[in-house]
Amino acid sequence: MPRALIVIDVQNDFCPGGALAVPDGDAVVAPINAMMDGFDAVILTQDWHPAGHSSFASTHGAAAYSLTTMPYGEQVLWPDHCIQGSPGAAFHPALRTDGDLILRKGFRPGIDSYSAFFENDRTTPTGLDGYLRTRGLSDLVLVGLATDFCVNYSALDAARLGYRVSLALTACRGIDLDGSLAAAETAMRDAGVQFV
Protein backbone atom coordinates (compact mmCIF):
# COMPACT_ATOMS: atom_id res chain seq x y z
CA MET A 1 0.00 0.00 0.00
CA PRO A 2 1.56 3.35 -1.03
CA ARG A 3 2.52 5.41 2.02
CA ALA A 4 2.93 9.15 2.44
CA LEU A 5 4.81 11.00 5.16
CA ILE A 6 3.03 14.24 6.10
CA VAL A 7 5.49 16.65 7.76
CA ILE A 8 3.49 19.29 9.64
CA ASP A 9 4.82 22.84 10.14
CA VAL A 10 8.48 22.25 11.06
CA GLN A 11 9.15 25.97 10.82
CA ASN A 12 11.47 28.34 12.69
CA ASP A 13 8.65 30.09 14.58
CA PHE A 14 7.59 26.75 16.11
CA CYS A 15 11.13 25.83 17.16
CA PRO A 16 13.13 27.12 20.15
CA GLY A 17 13.71 30.87 19.77
CA GLY A 18 10.67 31.25 17.51
CA ALA A 19 7.59 33.41 18.06
CA LEU A 20 5.41 30.41 19.00
CA ALA A 21 8.05 27.92 20.09
CA VAL A 22 6.99 24.35 20.85
CA PRO A 23 9.15 23.00 23.70
CA ASP A 24 11.92 20.84 22.20
CA GLY A 25 10.41 21.49 18.76
CA ASP A 26 13.69 21.20 16.89
CA ALA A 27 14.15 17.65 18.23
CA VAL A 28 11.78 16.42 15.50
CA VAL A 29 14.10 17.39 12.64
CA ALA A 30 16.62 14.51 12.77
CA PRO A 31 14.02 11.72 13.08
CA ILE A 32 11.92 13.23 10.27
CA ASN A 33 14.93 13.51 7.96
CA ALA A 34 15.82 9.89 8.71
CA MET A 35 12.29 8.69 7.86
CA MET A 36 11.83 10.46 4.52
CA ASP A 37 13.44 7.88 2.23
CA GLY A 38 11.09 5.15 3.48
CA PHE A 39 7.97 6.64 1.88
CA ASP A 40 6.41 6.78 -1.59
CA ALA A 41 5.71 10.49 -1.13
CA VAL A 42 6.69 13.23 1.31
CA ILE A 43 4.40 16.24 1.80
CA LEU A 44 5.49 19.21 3.93
CA THR A 45 2.99 21.75 5.24
CA GLN A 46 3.87 25.35 5.99
CA ASP A 47 1.88 27.79 8.10
CA TRP A 48 1.76 30.91 5.89
CA HIS A 49 -0.07 33.82 7.50
CA PRO A 50 -0.45 37.33 6.10
CA ALA A 51 0.50 40.13 8.52
CA GLY A 52 -2.48 41.12 10.67
CA HIS A 53 -4.03 37.63 10.47
CA SER A 54 -7.31 37.25 12.39
CA SER A 55 -5.79 34.53 14.62
CA PHE A 56 -3.12 36.91 15.96
CA ALA A 57 -3.71 38.36 19.43
CA SER A 58 -2.14 41.65 18.25
CA THR A 59 -4.85 42.03 15.58
CA HIS A 60 -7.48 42.13 18.35
CA GLY A 61 -5.45 44.04 20.95
CA ALA A 62 -5.84 40.94 23.13
CA ALA A 63 -3.53 38.82 25.26
CA ALA A 64 -1.74 35.96 23.55
CA TYR A 65 -3.40 32.56 24.17
CA SER A 66 -6.72 34.19 25.07
CA LEU A 67 -9.86 32.97 23.30
CA THR A 68 -12.20 34.73 20.92
CA THR A 69 -15.20 33.65 18.90
CA MET A 70 -14.88 33.62 15.11
CA PRO A 71 -17.68 32.91 12.62
CA TYR A 72 -16.38 29.30 12.56
CA GLY A 73 -16.19 28.88 16.35
CA GLU A 74 -13.76 29.37 19.23
CA GLN A 75 -10.25 30.52 18.27
CA VAL A 76 -7.07 30.70 20.35
CA LEU A 77 -5.36 34.05 19.70
CA TRP A 78 -1.70 33.39 19.01
CA PRO A 79 1.42 35.54 19.05
CA ASP A 80 2.20 36.77 15.51
CA HIS A 81 3.91 33.84 13.80
CA CYS A 82 4.81 32.35 10.41
CA ILE A 83 4.22 35.60 8.54
CA GLN A 84 4.58 35.06 4.81
CA GLY A 85 8.18 35.42 3.65
CA SER A 86 9.58 36.01 7.14
CA PRO A 87 12.50 34.03 8.61
CA GLY A 88 10.03 32.60 11.16
CA ALA A 89 7.87 31.11 8.40
CA ALA A 90 10.85 29.34 6.81
CA PHE A 91 11.39 25.65 7.40
CA HIS A 92 13.92 24.72 10.08
CA PRO A 93 17.29 25.05 8.31
CA ALA A 94 18.28 21.44 9.05
CA LEU A 95 15.00 19.97 7.75
CA ARG A 96 15.11 18.17 4.42
CA THR A 97 12.66 19.89 2.07
CA ASP A 98 13.20 17.67 -0.97
CA GLY A 99 9.70 16.22 -0.72
CA ASP A 100 7.01 15.90 -3.38
CA LEU A 101 4.79 18.80 -2.28
CA ILE A 102 4.93 21.85 -0.03
CA LEU A 103 1.42 22.83 0.99
CA ARG A 104 0.86 26.28 2.48
CA LYS A 105 -2.07 26.88 4.83
CA GLY A 106 -3.46 29.72 6.95
CA PHE A 107 -3.03 32.28 4.15
CA ARG A 108 -6.68 33.42 4.20
CA PRO A 109 -6.73 36.52 6.47
CA GLY A 110 -10.08 35.77 8.12
CA ILE A 111 -9.66 32.11 9.04
CA ASP A 112 -7.00 30.05 10.74
CA SER A 113 -5.90 26.65 9.48
CA TYR A 114 -4.57 24.00 11.84
CA SER A 115 -5.32 20.98 9.67
CA ALA A 116 -3.37 20.08 6.54
CA PHE A 117 -6.75 19.16 5.00
CA PHE A 118 -9.21 21.92 5.95
CA GLU A 119 -9.30 25.48 7.23
CA ASN A 120 -10.71 25.86 10.75
CA ASP A 121 -14.26 26.18 9.41
CA ARG A 122 -13.83 22.40 8.79
CA THR A 123 -15.21 22.76 5.21
CA THR A 124 -12.78 24.91 3.15
CA PRO A 125 -10.29 22.40 1.67
CA THR A 126 -6.55 22.97 1.36
CA GLY A 127 -6.32 20.62 -1.65
CA LEU A 128 -4.29 17.93 0.14
CA ASP A 129 -7.07 15.33 0.01
CA GLY A 130 -7.34 15.67 -3.78
CA TYR A 131 -3.57 15.46 -4.19
CA LEU A 132 -3.29 12.29 -2.10
CA ARG A 133 -6.24 10.60 -3.85
CA THR A 134 -4.96 11.34 -7.36
CA ARG A 135 -1.58 9.91 -6.31
CA GLY A 136 -3.27 6.81 -4.81
CA LEU A 137 -1.81 7.47 -1.36
CA SER A 138 -4.11 6.08 1.35
CA ASP A 139 -1.70 5.18 4.15
CA LEU A 140 -0.43 8.27 6.01
CA VAL A 141 2.18 8.77 8.71
CA LEU A 142 2.08 12.19 10.38
CA VAL A 143 4.99 13.93 12.10
CA GLY A 144 5.83 17.49 13.13
CA LEU A 145 4.51 20.38 15.21
CA ALA A 146 2.52 20.69 17.29
CA THR A 147 1.09 17.32 18.34
CA ASP A 148 -1.96 18.84 20.06
CA PHE A 149 -2.85 21.41 17.39
CA CYS A 150 -1.88 21.10 13.72
CA VAL A 151 -0.83 17.44 13.90
CA ASN A 152 -3.96 16.52 15.86
CA TYR A 153 -6.36 18.37 13.54
CA SER A 154 -4.64 16.88 10.48
CA ALA A 155 -4.81 13.34 11.89
CA LEU A 156 -8.48 13.65 12.83
CA ASP A 157 -9.39 15.01 9.39
CA ALA A 158 -7.37 12.31 7.63
CA ALA A 159 -9.17 9.61 9.65
CA ARG A 160 -12.54 11.23 8.92
CA LEU A 161 -11.69 11.23 5.20
CA GLY A 162 -10.99 7.49 5.30
CA TYR A 163 -7.20 7.38 5.32
CA ARG A 164 -5.22 4.87 7.35
CA VAL A 165 -3.43 7.20 9.79
CA SER A 166 -0.46 6.72 12.07
CA LEU A 167 1.45 9.17 14.23
CA ALA A 168 5.21 8.74 14.73
CA LEU A 169 5.42 10.11 18.27
CA THR A 170 9.23 10.35 18.36
CA ALA A 171 8.98 12.91 15.53
CA CYS A 172 6.23 15.05 17.13
CA ARG A 173 6.23 17.61 19.95
CA GLY A 174 3.28 19.36 21.62
CA ILE A 175 2.48 22.70 23.20
CA ASP A 176 0.22 21.29 25.96
CA LEU A 177 -1.96 24.35 26.56
CA ASP A 178 -4.19 23.56 29.59
CA GLY A 179 -4.13 19.79 29.04
CA SER A 180 -4.46 19.98 25.25
CA LEU A 181 -1.87 17.24 24.66
CA ALA A 182 -3.71 14.52 26.61
CA ALA A 183 -7.04 15.59 25.09
CA ALA A 184 -5.56 15.44 21.58
CA GLU A 185 -4.06 11.99 22.11
CA THR A 186 -7.40 10.68 23.41
CA ALA A 187 -9.29 12.18 20.46
CA MET A 188 -6.84 10.69 17.95
CA ARG A 189 -6.97 7.22 19.53
CA ASP A 190 -10.78 7.38 19.55
CA ALA A 191 -10.69 8.23 15.82
CA GLY A 192 -8.58 5.14 15.10
CA VAL A 193 -5.23 6.89 14.68
CA GLN A 194 -2.36 4.49 15.44
CA PHE A 195 0.60 5.60 17.55
CA VAL A 196 3.96 4.20 16.47
Active site residues: 9, 105, 150
Cross-strand partners of 7 = 44, 143
Phi and psi torsions of 98, nearest 5° = -90, 40
Could you tell me which residues are beta bridge partners of residue 56?
Answer: 78
Distance CA(83)–CA(76), nearest Å, equals 17
Residue 182, CA distances (Å) to 59, 86, 142, 149, 161 in order:
30, 32, 17, 12, 23
Dihedral angle of Cα 164, 194, 105, 52, to the nearest 10 degrees: 160
